[in-house]
Every structure is written in structure tokens, then in C-alpha cells.
Amino acid sequence: MLAVEGLSAFYGAIQALHGASIRVEQGEAVAILGSNGAGKTTLLRTISGLIKPRRGSITYQGHELSGLSPHAIVRRGVVQVPEGRHIFTQLTVHENLMMGAFTRGDRKDVRGDRQLVLSLFPDLGEKMDQLGGELSGGQQQMLAIGRALMSRPSLLLLDEPSLGLSPLLVEQLGGAITDIRERSGVSILLVEQNAVLALELTSRFYVMQTGNVVMSGTSHDVSLEEIRHAYLGGAPSRPVPR
């Protein structure tokens, strides 16, 4: 479904990605792990069109995404939930959800997708007329994911969804992410520093370090010690597929 090959990206003169390559198959959940500054968010932002790559390719369902605008990429079915949620705090929960569907003209299906979101996140159904800024941190994260689902994505990019949440909310969020993939068939690319959570929710993973992919493998066939070793900058304990 998604093939990123040899991707390099810069912030001004500073190179943030160094030939990164990853793949996501149809219906799959894949984790991107790494410490702060590893290039995880830059990778998602480049896939989403918010950063223009200097080299490499981003192929999605057989079409090249590099050079497309962010809204054109959303229309192709690739939708990102950014780190920090970035909901519209002065709009109601209902209005936030409808903003996720602004590119769509199928009003009947939009109503059906709203019901799906509310079944995934029942708390939102009780607060439809409440301002986004009045929600708790966990509810805002639910709203951010719900807003993205209203765009009817086929690939959902999640950037640090568990950041700042209590253990109980992290558990609830993990269950919702699993439900999203199982109930709607959406593929998921998950950026997380919480390696335990990420490996539980995905079938494969990549570890990034200073803009490079240094390790990859099957989520249920790796130890936390191997992940920790890659985080700290040691040589990868297993090869990275090319």
C-alpha cells in the first residue's frame, strides 16, 4: 500500500532524514519507534506533504505522493493525526468532526461515519455541543483521531497518540486503535515512544535513529532489550530489509 524508498528531507540546511525506507501493506499496522529527534515525526510529515523530500520516493497505492499538496494527499486517503492533537479548541466536538469531512460530498455516508466514530469513542457522544478546548487531554486525543476518521482514510498516520495520557486512557486508546483497524480495514502507521504499547498494536516495526532506519522486524518476535539497544545507538541486532 505504502512504499517509502530512500527518503531524504531537510529543515533548512539540517538533514533530518537520511535515505529512510519503510513499507506498509494493506490492512497492516506498523510501528515507527525511536527516541526524540530520531526523525519519526519528520517521516510522517513528509509522507503527508507538509515537508517536501529532497530525494527518494513515496508511492501510495501505485501513485507517487511526492510533490502533491497536503490536501491532495488527504483526498488520496492518507490522513495524519499530529502530535499534540491540534483540534479546533473554539469549535464544538460536532464541528470538529465535521471539519474532518470537509472534502467529502457524500452526506449520508458522513453521518454513518460519525456514528462509527461515536461507537469507537462513546465519551464524545455525550459532549457533542461542548467546545473542544473544554475536553480533557484524553478526550481531545479521541476527538483528533475521530476527526481524521471522518476523512475516511485508507491509511491513518498516528503521531505519539499516547503522549501525556494516563495508563488507563492509554489502554482505552490502544483498544480503539485495534478496533479501527479491525472494523474499518484502515491501515495504520504508528509513531510511538511507548515501545510496549506500539509492539502490542502492530505486526511489524521499524526503529529510527538520527534520521536513519536502523532496525526492523516482526513486533511479536523481538525483545525490549533489542529495541533498547537500537534506541541507544548500538549496531542493529538484526538486519534492516532492503
Cα–Cα distance measured from residue 82 to residue 48, given in angstroms and rounded to the nearest whole number: 10
| Burial of 196 per CB tally in 10 Å (0-12, 13-18, 19+) | exposed
Least confident of 98-107, 157-166, 188-197, 211-220: 98-107
**3-state secondary structure (DSSP) of residue 196:** helix
CB 85 within 8 A of CB 140: yes
What is the grid cell recorded at 34?
Answer: 525511536
Helix axis angle, 137-149 to 167-184, nearest 10°: 10
pLDDT, mean of residues 228-241: 59
Mean pLDDT, to the nearest integer, of 2-21? 96
What's residue 19's pLDDT? 97
What's residue 239's pLDDT?
Answer: 47
Higher pLDDT, 227 or 49: 49
Q: How many CA atoms lie within 13 A of 126 on its CB side?
A: 5
Is the pLDDT confidence value at 13 over 60? yes
Per-residue model confidence (pLDDT) at position 231: 75
The per-residue pLDDT for 224 is 86
88-112: average pLDDT? 90
pLDDT band at 236 (very low <50, low <70, confident <90, very high): very low
Where residue 105 falls among pLDDT bands split at 50, 70, 90?
confident
Residue 238, pLDDT > 90, answer: no
**pLDDT at residue 228, as a whole number:** 81
- Average pLDDT score over residue span 216-228: 90
For the chain, give the percent of residues with pLDDT over 70.
Answer: 95
Using alpha carbons only, give the angle 53, 65, 199 rounded to the nearest 5 degrees.
80
The rounded Cα 74 to chain-centroid distance in angstroms is 13
Residue 47: which residues within 8 A CB-CB, separation 6 or more?
A: 2, 4, 58, 65, 73, 78, 80, 157, 189
Across the range 158-168, mean pLDDT stands at 92
In the chain, the domains with their CATH numbers are 1-76+155-160+187-242 (3.40.50.300), 78-152 (no CATH)
- 33 φ, ψ (degrees, to nearest 5): -110, 160
pLDDT of residue 227: 87
Q: Count of CB atoms within 10 A of residue 105's CB? A: 7
Taking the C-alpha atoms of residue 2 and residue 22, their distance in angstroms, rounded to an integer, is: 8
Q: How far apart are CA 183 and CA 189, in angstroms?
A: 17
> pLDDT tens, 115-154?
999 999 999 999 999 999 999 999 999 999 999 999 999 9
Question: In what side-by-side order are the strands of the sheet with 14-24?
Answer: 14-24, 2-11, 55-60, 63-64
* Per-residue pLDDT tens digits for 70-96: 999 999 999 999 998 899 999 999 999
